Amino acid sequence: MKMKKLLSTLYITTPEIYLALDGENVVILQENSEIGRAPLHNLDSIVTFGYSGASPALMGKCVKKGIPISFMSRNGKFLARIEGEVNGNVLLRRDQYRIADDDRSLEIARNMIAAKLYNSKNVLNRTMRDHGMRIDRELFGRKSEFLQSQTKNALNAVNKDSLRGIEGEGASVYFSVFDDMILQQKKDFYFHTRNKRPPLDNVNAMLSFAYTLTAGMCASALEAVGLDPYVGFLHTDRPGRRSLALDLMEEFRAPMCDRFVLTLINKKLINCSDFIQNEDGAVSMTDTGRKKFITSWQNRKNDEIKHSFLGEKMQWGMLPYVQALLLSRYIRGDLDSYPPFFWK
């Protein structure tokens, strides 16, 4: 299987930063003074938080080199993305659009949601294995069994509405014990319910941030293999919504994002001083908090895992690309079905 090298993403977390070009390097400027630089050949994307922007010369160079630049608000909301020509071929995308409009889209969606539920179950199982003395094992066992049954139900869903119902029930049961997996800093980190527009507590702020970063990785991966990230198989089409990226991300929510957030809390890599509450009640990370989060995120992307379908070891950061590649192979007819990512 042809693989690409996992390059780095340059994250700019300080809002007052301006990005410029010097030869083959991106130059990081603060108040017109250079505070850092990075060779473009080491980067596969740039993500900047704030509104200072980037020079036209840098944007033009990144377009030519296929390095997308994503602009986010300080709170991590996606604003815009600059990228070059589409890498895919028109035949692959035409097949993607056909599948999106027929019954084959349900088959792909079933597999993706089944993987989400299976992976959520295994997050609970891993907690029982590693922290069995600190949780209600009987409660977790019941939740795990329910998620296992929902995994089977997802594979047999008769239509997308019923599949969404199965996914919703599974997510509700999974998140009902999410607070029990928070074992440290309980006064400052608690989870009552999932809220996102806006996040109203520290845990939801981190979950939303992790999901945003992962959605961006999935969108880039889909574009890299030639697929249209805006035309999905489960999430409905909506202007500006990267529906297929959101579909693909379902497989990674629990093992890649949720466990990462729990690790930051339980290992005390982040604390209450890294968050701020706005007047409207919305909670977001401080600049320092975002830096801590992203540094750990980059390290996590470099950790290795064995792929359940391919049987090969690879970095976590490669998983969206690998799944996008497998999806494109199914759409081309090289695979009999789409093999989702099952975390074991």
SS3 251: coil
The whole-angstrom separation of Cα 343 and Cα 305 is 9
Residue 2 confidence class, pLDDT cut points 50, 70, 90:
very low
Assess whether pLDDT exceeds 90 at residue 69.
Answer: no
pLDDT for 7 equals 60
Nearest CA-CA partner of 26 in 57, 49, 52, 5: 57
Confidence band for 3, pLDDT divided at 50, 70 and 90: very low
Task: Please report the pLDDT score of residue 75 as a whole number.
Answer: 61
Supply φ then ψ for residue 285, to 5 degrees.
-80, 150
Per the prediction, the chain carries an average pLDDT of 89
Is residue 126 over pLDDT 90? yes
Task: Give yes or no for residue 154 having a pLDDT over 70.
Answer: yes
> So what's the pLDDT on residue 257?
96
Helix residue spans in 44-159 (DSSP H): 56-65, 90-100, 104-131, 137-155
Give the whole-angstrom CA distance, residue 112 versus residue 235: 12
What phi-psi label fits residue 315: left (phi over 0), alpha (psi between -120 and 50 degrees) or beta? beta
Radius of gyration of the chain (CA): 20
And the tokens for 56? 């036209």
Tokens of residue 12, six digits: 């700019």
Distance from C-alpha of 260 to C-alpha of 255, rounded to nearest angstrom: 8
Structure tokens at 44: 């596969």
- Predicted confidence band of residue 74 (pLDDT cuts 50, 70, 90): low
Contact between residue 231 and residue 100 where contact means Cβ atoms under 8 Å apart: yes
